[in-house]
Structure 1
């Protein structure tokens, strides 16, 4: 299992370096953009809101794998604790803000009870103003 993880880490480092060269952004910018991309793609795949803790957790897992790859790969200047903490901060800042503020500003709507009959559309909830004709 560890060998498979190491092979994935090596492949990821090669891909990451070529992606940074191709896009032309800094490593910090790639962490920020990548985290937002992973957050929204995970929300689409899981069919959850982007402020879901599950989507946030997927971003965290992806970042932890990235840091594992940095420590065990050949990424230049990325195999230090300071670089790992810096990358973790850059990656998790906006997903954390989205998760926390999204829950406060747009609270999830309560789920409707499927066993409860739907309200009628013929003013059934209105009180009578005059007696019904006989």
Structure 2
């Protein structure tokens, strides 16, 4: 397996068409298509903490998904490092710690990033990309 890395998240997200990379006020990167975020490097938040130390995770990445079913499939598959928190109930996204990226392959990450882009791109952009 070719394990995924943080650099791969940035490269894959930036390589999608019509993408803008923004820097948040705390230096976190947000990738958008048509003004809609699809990959979001979160700042430490109180909803994602180490259960042992209580420390906020400093490395959570949010990926949009197309449906609640897609979210459930990723979050409930014990072989993947994806998770969610009650704060994101009803939100079409999954979370992943950068420290756990090596638990998925670069190929799996490619699919996750492309699916995130597809979940947020306009119908016209989706159709054009899927045709290509």
TM-score, structure 1 normalization: 0.27
More helix by share: 1
Question: Which has a greater percent of strand?
Answer: 2
Larger radius of gyration: 1
| TM-score (structure 2 length as normaliser) | 0.27
